[in-house]
Structure 1
């Protein structure tokens, strides 16, 4: 089989497959336990598939699709996704420094169609310079060996590849002013980081806004909203697919319920309304960079 394109993530494919099989079973009016029994498995096996905990064999997927009355081109499209879900992601070569909870995020980030990001503490990883990223990892609450720092920096730089190419995602970022004034790595590193932000902000499909201290409000905690592309026909699933990611020191939250996602989408819109325009953001960043140079 040919290698998967860089923007085709097995993590996203596994998640899409789980959603599709769950929806198809619901439409067929078959319970989870009954469906599992009829393909010679137990209910816990199908439950783990429908929650994306395990990657089913394509032959098992074909059996489920036959049970649900899905055949022809639609069935083949789903089975192709099942095969793709079993491949290795590019990020797995960093497994020595990449915890499972963050590997899931990196896998999903690799195939998003849009990202909406609010950062209140520091510049987001997708926008960091190497020196800034290195300073972030060296100053992490949990100390790292220098070789671990360099591996983490390499991973972070490789993640940024999604911002290049014709299929790059739409990117909307709101940075709290504190995130660009916090002296990560010292004045020279921060100034270089800010200059790169200014340059990046002129790219197409990217909207950068600064939430100034003068706005008088903010949001208690950074978050990222990920939107995933629709699968092309004849794939049977046309459902809207998005989630919210929030990381912590030792783990992450993945919010998928429509009400949860809607609440964060509303919060992001409010932050955009309070933040400076892209042009005013660039002017303010230039002024901060000049202060640092002085």
Structure 2
């Protein structure tokens, strides 16, 4: 599997589709589960993407929902993909469960919108910056764990520069590019990396300067996922918000929540420096660090 093939996203899409099809068929969870010789709790775990259903169970559910032919086969194919292993599983020793979900979703996002108020976004970090960030983090981890975390972060960046690279829209608070993580030399190299990445056609980096007089209390990421191709029965585009914390994460999917963060992101874009002005500002910061 390549990093772009994510069983996490497939499992989530499958869960949403099965719930939509059951609702369209006019069946309760209790009735649908009974018809395939299971209980409602089993179906609830499937529809909440907590478990990966066997393709045979998916076929049985599709039958009672009135889905057959090419549409049924398309859903069953996604069910098979959802049971595969993710590329990130070799990092299981250092990956907390709550971040596994994010890594899987990031791998197959079509658009990644990120607001970072403290650090450089992980997808754009240099290896030296990432190592310094993990070493100076609020929780102590061993040198071996630091190296695994750095390797994972570099592997996540495999989606950059490919034909399938997602569109990146990154807003970074000025404090994030002035905080000398790893020291001036490391930060200068990191800013130079941002300047190079900003030249990619699918990368838009904007700096939110101190002079903007505004900001947002907390970093967040908005992930967009492309619809699955026909004849898959659910063609809706999908979006969610990811909020990182010290001990866990929040995934916001309710339309009102996603709309609020989407509006906040666009407002931040409006007050941040343009991409061209951002490159000028970053170049000036790098030059100051060289003195």
Runs of 4+ in 1 over 4 A off after TM superposition: none
Match in the other structure for 2:146: 149
1:136 and 2:152 correspond: no
Match in the other structure for 2:94: 97
Match in the other structure for 1:208: 205
- Secondary structure of 1:26's aligned partner: helix
Cα RMSD of the aligned pairs, angstroms, is 0.6
Aligned counterpart for 1:46 among listed residues 43, 64, 75: 43
8 Å CA contact 2:3, 2:158 repeated in 1 = no
Query: Gaps (5+ residues) in structure 2?
Result: none
- Secondary structure of 1:16's aligned partner: helix
Structure 1 distance, partners of 2:2, 2:194, is 28
Aligned counterpart for 1:121 among listed residues 118, 133, 153: 118
- Secondary structure of 2:234's aligned partner: coil
Which structure 2 residues correspond to residues 269-284 of structure 1 after superposition, within 5 A? 269-284=266-281
Displacement after TM superposition at 1:155 (Å):
0.2
Displacement after TM superposition at 1:238 (Å):
1.2
- Secondary structure of 1:56's aligned partner: coil
Query: Gaps (5+ residues) in structure 1?
Result: none
Which structure 2 residues correspond to residues 240-251 of structure 1 after superposition, within 5 A? 240-251=237-248
1:237 and 2:203 correspond: no
Match in the other structure for 1:62: 59
Show CA shifts across 1:78-135 (max 9, x none): 0000000000000010000000000100000000000000000000100000000000
Which structure 2 residues correspond to residues 130-209 of structure 1 after superposition, within 5 A? 130-209=127-206
Q: TM-score, structure 1 length as denominator?
A: 0.98
**How many residues end up aligned between the 2 structures?**
291
- Secondary structure of 2:247's aligned partner: coil
Aligned counterpart for 1:268 among listed residues 258, 265, 283: 265
8 Å CA contact 2:2, 2:87 repeated in 1 = no
Match in the other structure for 2:22: 25
Show CA shifts across 1:141-190 (max 9, x none): 11011010000000000000111211110110000000000010000000
Structure 2 distance, partners of 1:252, 1:159, is 18
Alignment CA distance shift 1:104-1:41 (3 Å): same
- Secondary structure of 2:204's aligned partner: strand
8 Å CA contact 2:3, 2:156 repeated in 1 = no
